Each structure stands twice: as C-alpha cells, then as structure tokens.
Structure 1
Amino acid sequence: MSRAIVSVTNDLNTDQRVAKTCDTLVDLGYEVLLVGRKLKSSTPISRSYKTKRFNLLFNKSFLFYAEYNFRLFFFLLFSKKKLLISNDLDTLLPNYIISKLQRKKLVYDSHEIFTEVPELVDKSFVRRFWTSIEKRIFPKLKNVIVVSPGVADYYEKAYNVHCHIVRNIPKEISVKPLALPFDHQGKKTILYQGSINMGRGLELMIDAMSLLEDYIFMIAGDGDIIETLKEQVKQKELENSIIFLGKLGPAQLKSITPLADIGISLEEDLGLNYRYALPNKVFDYIHAEIPVVVSDLPEMKKIVETHQIGRVLKDRRSKELSSLIKSMDKRQYSNALKKTKKELSWSVEKEKLIHIFKHLN
C-alpha cells in the first residue's frame, strides 16, 4: 500500500479541509499519516488513519516555525512515503526539499495567500522571509490546489503555475441539532464561527449589537484577539447579548450552527488574502441552512448574490449592519439555501480532488 504523509502546523483537531483530504486518500487506497503539533489545549484525536503530533519547545513566533520545519524535515527524511501533501506555506520548505532529494510526488494545498495574511502586514522581515521561500519554490511546483478562483488567479499570474480549485465545502452529513447552551429568551441569534483574529469584522459586529436589542451574538472559536473582544463587550455592557462559546469541536459546532438565525463572515479588505477569501464558515452556514451576511469582497459576494442566500454589507458602519440584519428573515431564504446546499456539495469537490491525485505530475 502506498503511503501519503500530510503535514500541517495546527493540532489536527479542527482542520476539516485536511481531514477531508486524508479521507479521500484513504478511499483511494493510500496509507495516510497526518502530521501536526500538540498544544496544551489539544484534545485526543481519533481518525481512520494514523496521526502524529510534535511536542515543541516553541509554539509562537518565528522560533515556532523554525523548530517545526526542522523537526518536520528530519521526520520526512527518515519516513517511508510515496506522496507528500504540504498544507500552506509554513510546511512547504521541508516537503519540497524532501520531494527533490528522494524524488517523491508533492502536492501543495494552499488554504490562503499566506504572505498576505493581516498578521504579517506590520512584520516586514517575517513577510520578506516567507515571500522569498514562496518565490523560490512556487514556480517549480507541479501539483497545486487552492481554495477559490481569486487565489488561483493570483498565483497563476504571479508564478505562471496552474492551480486546481477545490473549495472547502463540508461533507453532507445528518446532524441532530442540540439546544443552545444558554437561554436566548426567544431572541434571534447571530453566529460567528472560526478564528478570532484581526480583520474578521468582529469589532464591528459587537458595535452593532448595541442597536440589536432583540438579538444575541454567539462567537464560536478562539484566537489572538479574544481577550480584547471580551474587554470591548464588557465596556459596552453587552455581556447579556454576546456569548463566547469558546473553541468547539466539529461535531458540536455542526449541531449548534443550524440553530442560528444568521451567520456572519465580515472579513475586512486587509490585503489580498482576505480579498480573495472564500471562508469555510460561509459553506458551513449554507449547509446548516442559515442565511449569511458577508463583506463586499469578490468571492464571498459572488456566492451570496449568485445563489441569493443572504446579504452583502456595502457600508461597514454599525448602523448599516444592524439595519441589514433586522431586514433579514431566516424563512425567506429557506428554499434558496436548500437548493444551494445541493449544488455546492462536497461530493462534487471530492471528485476534483480524486482527479488530481490520480493524475499527479
């Protein structure tokens, strides 16, 4: 049996895109090993394939990336494999070197435009470092997967490399909704799920909650600015209107999402990464059959307007956002969401992935 080693820098628990890739490889007859790292907050993981998580001395800053890439290089060097799958730029260097040294096939799955993430905007040295790696390696890649047409267009123009588009659409599974873990007192609920980082529009949504007395805003996830947001909520005395659910497992999240009345994805236009983003949560909302409010950015806007499954926020002011939300009724989008859910299915995206793995260069 051929062995595929899939590498990421996260702790494996919540990366559903990578999980779907691994499941597809298993279906194709590969022996799969998924490699990531272990954090203090990491919970046990059980998959149909093998997993390995590095215990690192450093889990933040440039030292983390240096240590992880060093460990990954030597692990890959002495591991049996036929296929390497690198997820994002922070795992590419060791995968590329090993693929050349040992003449192994390499697939690069870019979940974002890594050098354009907002976290690197003010870190010129770090950004130049990652850009230099990308410029040296990307033009030589033969099997590249990206998450949206905008990202594909960016890389194809920058490096003249063809990119396959595989959107991060959730699997079609039947989930029994749970009760919300708090008393919402008959109020409508707004949901944000995902990373709690800068540029996600969460500050704007919190401001808008002062004008949305009949709503509760649920935030599911964790990240760099979580404490800042909690302080903002406290200062505005909105503790009864904004609920921090914390980091939820995929199954628990899928059970809660359908209970919301509206899902939001309000990324700011902070560089090309967000501009061309097609976030997982947009598809998660669609498959949970809840309407969405998205930023006026090309990829998200196209999905919402083409399928008529929500609204696009044109004016990023709290008054305008609150008015837009008040104008929405979950029931009016029900038919469009059911139809879109069938059209935007993982079964279609999976066939694209299978074709890629069967025709590797």
Structure 2
Amino acid sequence: MLSETSAATVRATLPAVAASLDEITQRFYDRLFTAHPELLRELFNRGNQASGDQRRALAGSIAAFASHLVDRPDDRPDAMLARIAHKHASLGVTAEQYRTVHTHLSAAIAETLGDAVTPQVAAAWDEVYWLMADTLVSLEARLYARQGVEAGDVWRDWVVVDRAEQTADVTVFRLRPADGSPAPGFLPGQYVSVQTELPDGARQIRQYSLICAPGSDVLSIAVKRVRGERGPDGEVSAHLHTRVRAGDRLRVSAPYGDLVLDATDADTPLLLASAGIGVTPMAAMLQQLVAEGHRGPVTVVHGDRSPAAHALRADCDLLIGKLPEAVAHYWYEDPDLRERADGAATAVHTGLVDLTGIPLLPGVRAWLCGPLPFMRAVRGQLLARGVPASDVHYEVFGPDLWLGAS
C-alpha cells in the first residue's frame, strides 16, 4: 500500500519523472554496468541493451507501476508483476540484486532531475521502488520454492540429445538432464532460459518456450535464428544454430512463465493466436488440450512470412486434427502456392492476420504470442468484438515494451 503522503508526491511528480525516464534509465544502466560489468556479460541481454529495448522496457514498467499506485494506492498490478517475476526467476535474480538496482536507480534519478529531487520526493519514489521490489522478491521466492530450488539457483547442466532443422531459420533441440535426474515439471506455455558461453567469454541468457508435452525426461525447444533488422544478428541464436550439436552441454534453467492455459473448462471456446516463432507455446498448449480431451471449439490463428517459414506447422496440424471442434486459419505475407496444402479444417489466407469473418463464440478466451505489432492488432480486434480484456492473455519474447500501454 502506498502511503497517502507519498501518493500525493508521486502523483505531482509523475509527469516530470515520466518525461525523463529515458534519460534516467540510460544513466542507470551506465552506472550499473560501470560498477558491475559482469552483469552485462552474464545476466543482461547485450542485444537488448544495444537496441535500447531493455531501457524502454524498464521505463515502461516504472511508469506503469507508479501510475497504477497513484490511481489505486491499495492495489498492485498483479499480472504485470507476475510476468516480471517469472522472467526474473528464470534468470536466477536474487533479493540482493534489487538493492544494487536501487542504489544506481536512485542516483540516476537524482542526477537527471537535480534539485527537483527533494528529500520528500526521494522518499516517495523510494517507497514506490520498494513496494515493487519487495513484491517481486516475494513472488520470486514462491516460484523458486515451487521448483524446489534455492533463490537464484536455477541452473543445471543438460545434454543435447539431438537437433532437427524445422525451417531455414528454426531448429529444434531436444535436451536431457546431464545427471540423469527426471526433467522438472512444467505447464504448457512455459519457457526455460538457456545460458551459453560465447567466443568472447560472455555467458548470455535467452528464453525459449518448451514445445513438448509435460512428463517427458527429454524436453524440446525451438530456436529461431535472429537475423538483425535494427541491429546485429542474435548472438545466442546464431551460436546455438552454428555450434551446438548432439552431445554438447547447455546450462538450462527451471521452467517458468505465466502464459498458461489456466483451468479452462473442457467446453470453453478458445482462440490460440500466434505469429512467427510465437507458435512455440501454442504447440505445447495444443498438446495439453489433446491430452485433456478438450471438447469445446478451438480456433488456431497463425501469421507468417510464407509456408516455408512456418515452424511446427505439421505438428500443430496433427494436433488440431485430434480435437473434435478445432479449425486453423493461417495467413502468409508471401504465400508459395506450390506449398499450399489446406487441410479439411484449415483455411489459408494472404496478408496479415485479420479476424474479420472468423467466428468468435460467447465466452471465448484468447492466448496471443508473437511480435508486438501483431499482438496489438489482434488484441484490438478482439476487444472491438466484445471479448473482455481479462480474457485476452499474451506473451512477449524479449523485453515487454507493452507494459506501459496495455
């Protein structure tokens, strides 16, 4: 709960802080990495730092959290905090690191805003920070306990059983615990973090959705090779594609992630919408629906550049065929008509995903995963057609730049 005094101070200063957040977060990361260069090499995503995405995501989360507190001082944005907590747990973040962040974030605010940061202002924003940090530490502690690990101790050695190229840019890796222990349990839609040591000695971490069914000792991930459009190619995905082979070892975290099919009734109408590599959690969810004998209508929507680029299509088509009331709609920006093999329950379209004309039954619940413009567009279409925002769930691969605007 934000105190009344602090709520008034934060409300009065939020416009100035929000206007300066880009500079504040830039100063923060400069200070943090100067004092702790190992964090950039071993915890933070160097690609997202170089592009500025991580800075914008941090600014968005601060603004969203502070705005929520001043509007509803007795409430906290649980969905946003849960998503951050899952990501932090998959990285092995500890309570001590929040104190480190506080030191450098407070200094960055003071440096940027100067004399405007009076003791009262500093105390109010400290209260905001620690409300957010303490809640995250508590959530992360529960996530660690659920996996039976100590705080931050999420890493284990796994062996690559085999690899298979799905498309020109997507490779599936099957992994088994190196010590022969059972694979940890997970919920379809969750992901693991993979830590790789790169040629320059840096150990970088990326998250990949699990595409297999729970209960197996061998877990599968699909890795898309990131080809840079706004910057350099993805260094971790390139390393996995070009250097990692069967028999190699990888450091893999316990599974985390909050985009899961939660307690859906067997007759509930569902919409699973994805684009590009966002298909990966949907593949696992379809396996869950088949295993649980889901009877209700399931509409699968996917957008991609072309049929050749559509990863896991054969797997998803097989699962869709096992559900009694499932249909699929695929959109391709550049369709190759020679590869268009429409199944009886599949419709293929040209262009971008458009839900116009796609039946949405009352009570439909939707799960989205893909690039941010895709999810914004699909979510907007769903809301315009009367689907409650609380029934539209999403996952962002990378920094969640939606936090301040969703």
Q: TM-score, normalised by structure 2?
A: 0.29
Q: TM-score, normalised by structure 1?
A: 0.31
The structure with more radius of gyration? 2
